[in-house]
Amino acid sequence: MYGNHAVLTGKRKSLLMRKGIIIWNIRRWISGMLTIGLLLLTIYVLVISYCERKDGKPFFLLGYKPVLILSQSMEPTIPAGAIILIREKREEPVENQIVLFRQKRFHTNVFVTHRIIGKEAEGYRTKGDNNPTEDPGWVQEKEIYGVFAGILIP
């Protein structure tokens, strides 16, 4: 009887070793995929940075662009620190739409994500949801690059 017990233990040990090898292979595969993903993300960020510096316009890959929200101006709709997805503008923006535009007034040259609150002959009026007043000046349609498509990371 003692001999059979030793044989069973050997079979169990072999089975456990095979399971361990399978788990190790799965971990290695996941690690490889994560490495490839990080490499592709790094290349994407470098290409975007180069294209945006060269052209001065936001770079859209397949019609979309991730954007980091730095301020609290769009809370509670979009919290500060959120990463949102902007869809490249295909048609004329409409009132109540959240848009990405270039703000060139008052010695600034930054991209802003705010809501359109009105349109007149002079251009669009915009305002952050959390701001007490509308943005100064008018935003021209050519300064609007995209529209809000959703929150990627809140």
pLDDT digits (tens, 9 = 90+) for 25-58: 888 999 999 999 889 888 877 887 777 777 778 8
Q: Is the pLDDT of residue 150 over 80?
A: yes
Rounded Cα distance between 87 and 113, Å, is 12
What order do you get walking across the sheet with 83-88 strand by strand?
Answer: 64-68, 83-88, 144-153, 98-103, 110-120, 123-127
Q: pTM for the complete prediction?
A: 0.68
Region of 81 on the Ramachandran plot (φ > 0 left; ψ -120 to 50 alpha; else beta): left
Split at pLDDT 50, 70, 90, the class of 75 is: very high
